[in-house]
Structure formats: structure tokens, C-alpha cells
Structure 1
Amino acid sequence: MAEVVNASADNFEVALKDSEQRSQQGSAILLLLFLADHDAALGRSWCPDCVRAEPVINKAIESSSRKGRTVRLLRVYVGDRPTWRSPSHPLRIDRRLQLKGVPTLIRWENGSIIGRLEDYEAHLENKIEELLS
């Protein structure tokens, strides 16, 4: 079964702590997915890589859930393009995350990264499956 929680840079720390606790209680795989915000004028995300990757990631998580794995997805929206492009963006300067681009998919366990897919590979189904196994 998959559980999805949405967060932003502003409430990331609280959402991460809660997700860590819930994942540990239920022995769930915890994934952090960093995405660009939706642009109302476009009717979708301003980031074409996010538009391409998100449905593939969701499909892989659903498939993994059907196989009996419990997955908790913390979906973190990084902001609009100018906000994300700032070198001082809080998620860019977070030493634990070292985010360089979106989308970024991270498998998180015991307070650290145990696997990650960067923006150029986050849409590859086989890579997502490897991250989940």
C-alpha cells in the first residue's frame, strides 16, 4: 500500500520527521520526491522533467505496493522557477540532500540517503524499480 504526503520547503522538516516515524512503525519504504510547483498559467508543472517523471514514479510505486511492499512517498514541492533557481534555496543548501535539480527521487532510511535518482534519470522505470527493491 502507498501513502502520499505533500510538503513544501517551508514545512519539509516537520513532514520528514513525521514520515520517518510512520515509516519505521509500519516498516515502509520511505521515498522523498522533490518536484517543481505547478504553474497555473501552464496548467501543469513548470518543469518538463517533472511532468515526464511523476507518472512513471507513481506507476512504479503502485506496482511495488501490489507486490506487498509498503511505500510512503513524501512529495516535496520546491517552488516556482525563480524560487528554485536561487542558490540559497533551503533545499539546495541542505547538506543532507544536496539537491541540484528536480525531479529528484531519494530513498531515505535511518536519517540518510541510501539511494537516489537525479533529474536526468528519475523517469526511468528500471531505475525506480531498483531503488524500490
Structure 2
Amino acid sequence: MSKYEEISVHGYEEFCKAVEDRKGKDIFAYFSGDKDASGKSWCPDCVKAEPIVRGEMSHLPEGSVFIYCQVGERAYWKDPNNDFKKTLKLTGVPTLLRCGTPQRLVEENCFKPDLVRMLFTED
């Protein structure tokens, strides 16, 4: 039995619903480029970061929520008016953030296990 809940969502609407359904909980979100049928993302940095982020998930706080969100195909992500960029102010993928706080790791910072662990463990 893990001490946190993990959810996988696809797209902005599903992400918002997952957050809304878990209001009041400590929510961490990881944003990645869409994966193809073989499970490989179009985003090479996302491919590199995911095992590092997953390797630090044992440090997630008890009772917290981890949302794995695929942001869409490359063309959608590149659109400066997509909801992730416009509303959530994401600047790149991968992005790991703690919802409701300014804490976030973007792109190559997600490659650093110590930074990922710090985001998961510091209030």
C-alpha cells in the first residue's frame, strides 16, 4: 500500500478535474509530452527525467497526490496559446510542480534527484 495516490491524466481538462476532485490534498503534478503506442514520449527530456522523478517518489508526503499529465502532441504543446502555457504558465516539459505553490522544476532541473526530492519533501 503506497502512502500517496497516483493518477494519470491526459490534457488540460482531465488535469483540472483531477486537481478539483482532490482539493485540500498536497498535490504534485508532472507534465510530460504525449507518449506513442510504444510508451515513448516525443519529448527527449521527458524520457530522461521520468525515471529520475519516479525514483524519488518514495519521498512524497503521506496522503499526497501525484498526477502524471500528458500535455498533448508536440504541435499542440508548441502552440503558445495552449491551456498549459496560458493558464498554468508552463514554460517547458518536463515540469514538476507542487500545486498551489510557486515550487516547480522545469526541464533539466527534473534530471537532478536532489532537487526532485527537495520539491517532494519541503513545505
Instruction: State the TM bucket, normalised to the shorter chain.
Output: 0.7 to 0.9
Structure 2 residues without counterparts, runs of 5 or longer: none
Secondary structure class of the residue paired with 1:45: coil
Q: How many residues align?
A: 118
CA pair 88-114 structure 1, distance change in 2 beyond 3 A: closer
Q: What does residue range 78-117 of structure 1 map to in structure 2 within 5 Å?
A: 78-94=71-87, 97-108=88-99, 112-117=100-105
Structure 1 residues without counterparts, runs of 5 or longer: 24-28
Q: Which residue matches 1:6?
A: 8
Equivalent in 29, 50, 56 of residue 54 of structure 1: 50
Report how far residue 43 of structure 1 moved. Answer: 4.3
Q: Answer whether contact 2:19 2:27 (CA < 8 A) is retained.
A: no
Task: Give the TM-score taking structure 2 as reference length.
Answer: 0.86
Equivalent in 122, 127, 130 of residue 115 of structure 2: 127
Equivalent in 32, 52, 67 of residue 29 of structure 2: 32
Report how far residue 55 of structure 1 moved. Answer: 1.2
Name the structure where strand makes up a greater proportion of residues: 1
1:19-59 alpha-carbon deviations (Å, 9 max, x no partner) = 334x2xxxxx320111111023x640111111111111111
Q: Which runs of 4+ in 1 moved over 4 A?
A: none
How many Å separate the matches in 2 of 1:89 and 1:51? 22
Q: Which amino acid aligns with 1:6?
A: S
Alpha carbon RMSD of aligned pairs, Å? 1.7
Task: Give the TM-score taking structure 1 as reference length.
Answer: 0.80
CA pair 43-74 structure 1, distance change in 2 beyond 3 A: closer
How many Å separate the matches in 2 of 1:59 and 1:92? 27
